[in-house]
């Protein structure tokens, strides 16, 4: 399979790192970035402009505001777009392809641990999931509405988790723990909880840790006073509303 990656910035570059089994051509207009990619990858073809799309599976990783100016020729085997807030209908208007896929990875793609929301034409579902699994876990959704909802938990929540991590570290520093040690704890905590949550319901994990009258229960009560759960639920709703607005 021939893949044409259009745009090799942070997310496109992260995807490139996981595509070693494919025949990959990269379109990158910025010359310094092309030179960097040439040093990093000896097995890819680098172009400064978009070739005819015929025969390619196109991975579109440009900035959403650049889509209107994009000029293409030919018809791709499939288009996989990671453009935020860009619905399938608009992609169909701009680029000719036999199948259309919309995907929303997150920043953990830089470590090949992304969770990527995927929807679009079922005819290309399995191959799209295989390609996008190269940067982590890919989850198929049944509609663009579901993808807009998942944008919060998959695409935006890493920023919220970073806020939680920073707040936990700040709390530890406030009590006297060195900052470097605090961040080391938080990073290990996030990694370990991810592994546990793949196997057990979060409520059950919480109950295992929180013993009656203990330290965890005291901290949990403080979080409830601060309406932390409600704030996260509201953050998800706000993110969904904004995702819908961007798609109009």
Task: Give pLDDT tens digits for 20-62.
Answer: 889 999 999 899 999 999 999 988 999 999 999 999 999 999 9
Q: How far is CA 140 from the centre of its chain?
A: 13
Is the per-residue pLDDT at 248 higher than 80? Answer: no
- Beta strand 56-60 pairing with 2-6: parallel
Element (H, E) at 14: helix 10-16
What does the pLDDT look like over 128-175, one tens digit per residue? 999 999 889 999 999 999 999 998 999 899 999 999 999 999 999 999
State the Cα–Cα distance between residues 158 and 185, nearest whole angstrom.
17
206 by DSSP, 3-state: which? helix
Q: Using pLDDT thresholds of 50, 70 and 90, give the confidence band for residue 112.
A: confident
Q: Using pLDDT thresholds of 50, 70 and 90, give the confidence band for residue 245.
A: confident
Give the number of other Cβ atoms within 10 Å of residue 236's Cβ.
Answer: 18
Please tell me the predicted confidence (pLDDT) of residue 42: 87
Closest of 29, 96, 36, 38 to residue 61, by C-alpha: 29
pTM above 0.75, yes or no: yes
Q: How far is CA 112 from the centre of its chain?
A: 10
Please tell me the predicted confidence (pLDDT) of residue 84: 84
Helix, strand and coil content of the chain, in percent to the nearest 5, comes to 55, 15, 25
Is the per-residue pLDDT at 94 higher than 80? Answer: yes
Please tell me the predicted confidence (pLDDT) of residue 11: 85
> Hey, what are 59's tokens?
């991975």
> Hey, what are 166's tokens?
């920073």
Paired strand residues for 45:
25
**In the chain, what percentage of residues exceed pLDDT 90?**
81
What does the pLDDT look like over 172-204, one tens digit per residue? 999 999 999 999 999 999 999 999 999 999 999
- Beta strand 56-60 pairing with 114-120: unpaired
Which of the 8 DSSP states describes residue 79? Answer: E
Backbone angles phi and psi of 247, in degrees to 5: -80, -10
Q: Which residues, in sequence order, are CB contacts of 92 under 8 Å at separation 6+?
A: 100
């Amino acid at each position: 399979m021939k893949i044409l990656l259009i745009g090799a910035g942070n997310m496109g570059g992260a995807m490139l790192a996981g595509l070693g089994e494919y025949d990959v051509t990269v379109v990158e207009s910025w010359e310094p970035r092309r030179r960097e990619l040439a040093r990093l990858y000896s097995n890819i073809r680098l172009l400064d402009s978009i070739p005819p799309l015929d025969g390619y599976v196109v991975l579109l990783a440009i900035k959403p505001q650049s889509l209107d100016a994009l000029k293409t020729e030919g018809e791709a085997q499939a288009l996989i777009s990671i453009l935020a807030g860009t619905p399938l209908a608009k992609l169909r208007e701009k680029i000719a392809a036999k199948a259309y896929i919309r995907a929303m990875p997150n920043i953990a793609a830089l470590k090949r641990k992304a969770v990527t929301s995927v929807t679009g034409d079922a005819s290309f579902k399995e191959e799209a999931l295989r390609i996008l699994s190269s940067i982590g876990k890919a989850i198929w959704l049944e509609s663009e509405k579901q993808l807009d909802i998942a944008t919060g938990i998959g695409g935006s929540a890493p920023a919220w988790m970073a806020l939680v991590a920073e707040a936990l570290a700040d709390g530890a520093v406030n009590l006297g723990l060195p900052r470097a040690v605090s961040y080391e704890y938080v990073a290990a905590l996030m990694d370990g909880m991810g592994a546990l949550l793949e196997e057990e319901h979060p409520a059950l994990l919480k109950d295992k840790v929180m013993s009656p009258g203990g330290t965890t229960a005291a901290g949990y009560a403080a979080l409830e006073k601060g309406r932390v759960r409600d704030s996260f639920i509201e953050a998800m709703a706000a993110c969904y509303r904004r995702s819908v607005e961007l798609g109009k």
